Amino acid sequence: MMVGAAPFGVIFGTLVTASPLTLWHGQLMSLAVFAGSAQFIAIGMIAGHASFIVIWATTFVINLRHVLYSATLAPYVAHLPARWRWTLSGLLTDEVFAVAYAHYQKRAPGEIGPHYFFGSGLSMYLNWQLWTLVGLLFGAAFPGLKSLGLDFAMVATFIAIIVPQLVAVRFVAAAIASGVLSFAWQDWPYKLGLLAAVLVGIGVGMAITLMERRERESNGDNRKERAR
């Protein structure tokens, strides 16, 4: 996953060199924001002279998925000291969530320490800083870099994140719904179609989960009745 993020870091650094921002601004954005999708959108909006409020609101909406990630991981980190929870929240990305969640599912919540999550997050953070710097320093020398299709590495990374999670009907249904709708709504401004598709996918997954729960409860009640 670190390899998959590398081309995106380079491309981001390259875009900064063609924007009104200085090289220092670009590196500081990666250091402070550490959210590739939000940074790409922000660079485009800055180049288009959008207002600060519009940029802030758009990137805020794009990053709302991290609320879902946090809610999913909360049971596994709730017992940790506040200093660790704050630190881990700052290192949370799509890739880190996938790695940490897969690791945590194999263990009981109370038995989990912060170090695996922290190590994964810190590695990804340093990796993003490195490749941003490479793009800032050398991206201008390769103006056709984006046309090489290197950004497919990130697509492959997300496929690697999603496929291992498709272990139940609710996950498959949510993935299909969000995938189809994100394609249908790809022309919405500021990637809002993607966010809407994700929310629909979550709704589908939750609906199926509730249906399965009610079915289990109904089957349990029927077994109790027969036992009587």
Q: Where do the structural domains in the chain lie, given as residue ranges?
A: 2-165, 166-228
pLDDT score, position 161: 66
pLDDT for 156 equals: 67
Closest-CA residue to 27 (of 124, 123, 133, 141) = 133
pLDDT for position 145: 62
Radius of gyration of the chain (CA): 20
Burial 132-168 (b: 16+ CB within 10 A, else e): bbebbeebeeeeebeeeeebeebeebeeebeeeeeee
Model pTM? 0.70
Can you count the helices (H) and strands (E) in the chain? 11, 0
pLDDT confidence of residue 131: 92
Q: Which residues of the chain have pLDDT under 50?
A: none
CB atoms within 10 A of CB 55: 19
The predicted pLDDT at position 86 comes to 95
Give the per-residue pLDDT at 116. Answer: 93
